[in-house]
């Protein structure tokens, strides 16, 4: 009788534990899923600047995704105007409304921690994209935070490789003074930006690793800005003139400013006009056309559509309580929280 009593007690305890665990699991599913059947997922999109060339492509891609999935997702866009104070105000406004997820194109890359802390307090999933914090730790500090971007050094490597290929196949078009040294100017994005640091370093390192000697004539920050890039090259050209053989820009917006300046002096107009090799990053549609016309040497394609589609898929997964990368072709890198979209060369073969 005592033995039977013990068996009954043990059975009852096991039943109670199973009930508690089942209830907890159901609660976790409800907590992790923010989807309300029949209603679109509401996503707040905090952008660097609506006028930024690449960011405007991302915005366009997200709008197209919304048109194709009108009953599934609803994006609300906020323009940071390149000012962290404005983006902070936009975030405060966003947190007062009901959103299921935030897409964050951070303005101050050194300012990630307080921004993520604020989002964490609201318990809203967040995907940072394109502008990588100077350290990944703020993202890792919040279990619902992730990053989608690129491998910044890869862009620099591909820039360098395009110039190496050009040097090896058509050396005289670059080495105009025939001294076996590539004289260059480099236009950098913004100070302490990870993309600027890695693109600048690895573009030149790749050229040197190919056995090509280089000489830096000048470098400056043009802050991803076309007009600032134009002004810089107008000034540098007066000093260095036909000594300039290559101009490397950290992005295409600045590269277009370079072309504006060179064309003022009669260079890079296509056909048989004198040409200085100019290279950028992003492969914007307008730059692709310049490359096809022989006005620019090449660029590195940053795939805006792949980035936007991955953000959409991750967003839907996160609000549905699914694994973040389910249904994508990507894996997290060694940080465990970042996805890297590969770059591609864009050039016209000789």
Residue 15 has pLDDT above 60, yes or no: no
Q: What is the pLDDT of residues 140-153, one digit of tens each?
A: 999 999 999 999 99
Q: What is the pLDDT of residues 224-238, one digit of tens each?
A: 999 999 999 999 999
Residue 27 has pLDDT above 80, yes or no: no
Which has the closest alpha carbon to 94: 133, 42, 139, 56? Answer: 42
Distance CA 300, CA 285 (A): 12
pLDDT of residue 28: 38
Residue 4, judged by CB atoms within 10 A of its CB (0-12, 13-18, 19+), counts as exposed
Residue 332, judged by CB atoms within 10 A of its CB (0-12, 13-18, 19+), counts as middle
Mean local confidence (pLDDT), 189-215: 96
Distance CA 224, CA 255 (A): 9
N- to C-terminal Cα distance for the chain?
A: 93
Going by pLDDT thresholds of 50, 70 and 90, the confidence category of residue 22 is very low
The phi-psi region of residue 105 (left if phi > 0; otherwise alpha if psi is between -120 and 50; otherwise beta) is: beta
41-150+303-344 and 153-301 have identical folds: yes
Specify the fold of 153-301.
Rossmann fold (3.40.50)
Kindly report the CATH class assigned to 41-150+303-344. Answer: alpha beta
Distance CA 290, CA 269 (A): 9
Mean local confidence (pLDDT), 184-199: 95
Domain boundaries, the chain: 41-150+303-344, 153-301
Q: What is the pLDDT of residues 69-116, one digit of tens each?
A: 999 999 999 999 999 999 999 999 999 998 999 999 999 999 899 999
Handedness of CA 210, 215, 216, 217 (dihedral sign): negative
Do 236 and 244 contact (CB within 8 A), yes or no? yes
Which has the closest alpha carbon to 163: 297, 290, 289, 257? Answer: 297
Residue 3 has pLDDT above 90, yes or no: no
Count other C-beta atoms under 10 Å from residue 189's C-beta: 22
Cα 255 off chain centre by: 18
Q: What is the pLDDT of residues 240-296, one digit of tens each?
A: 999 999 999 999 999 999 999 999 999 999 988 899 999 999 999 999 999 999 999
């Amino acid at each position: 009788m005592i033995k039977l009593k013990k068996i009954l007690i043990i059975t009852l305890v096991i039943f109670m534990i199973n009930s508690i665990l089942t209830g907890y699991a159901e609660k976790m599913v409800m907590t992790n899923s923010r989807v309300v059947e029949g209603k679109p997922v509401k996503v707040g999109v905090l952008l660097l600047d609506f006028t930024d060339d690449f960011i405007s492509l991302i915005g366009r891609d997200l709008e197209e995704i919304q048109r194709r999935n009108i009953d599934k997702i609803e994006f609300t866009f906020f323009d940071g105007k390149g000012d962290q104070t404005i983006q902070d105000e936009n975030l405060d406004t966003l947190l007062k409304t009901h959103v299921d997820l935030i897409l964050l194109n951070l303005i101050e890359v050194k300012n990630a921690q307080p921004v993520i802390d604020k989002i964490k307090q609201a318990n809203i999933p967040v995907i940072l994209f394109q502008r990588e914090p100077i350290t990944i730790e703020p993202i890792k500090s919040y279990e619902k935070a992730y990053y989608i971007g690129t491998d910044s050094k890869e862009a620099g490597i591909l820039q360098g490789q395009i110039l190496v290929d050009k040097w090896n196949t058509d050396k005289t078009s670059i080495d105009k003074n025939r001294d076996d040294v590539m004289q260059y100017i480099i236009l950098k994005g913004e100070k302490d930006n990870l993309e600027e640091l890695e693109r600048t370093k690895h573009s030149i390192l790749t050229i040197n690793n190919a056995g090509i000697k280089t000489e830096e004539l000048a470098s400056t920050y043009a802050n991803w800005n076309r007009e600032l890039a134009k002004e810089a090259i107008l000034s540098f050209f007066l000093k260095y003139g036909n000594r300039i053989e290559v101009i490397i820009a950290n992005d295409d917006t600045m590269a277009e400013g370079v072309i504006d300046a060179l064309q003022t002096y009669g260079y890079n107009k296509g056909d048989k006009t004198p040409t200085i090799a100019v290279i950028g990053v992003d492969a914007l549609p307008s730059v692709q056309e310049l490359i096809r016309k022989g006005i620019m040497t090449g660029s590195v394609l940053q795939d805006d559509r792949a980035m936007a589609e991955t953000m959409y898929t991750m967003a839907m997964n996160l609000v549905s309580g699914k694994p973040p990368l389910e249904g994508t072709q990507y894996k997290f890198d060694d940080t465990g929280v970042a996805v890297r979209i590969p770059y591609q060369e864009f050039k016209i073969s000789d």
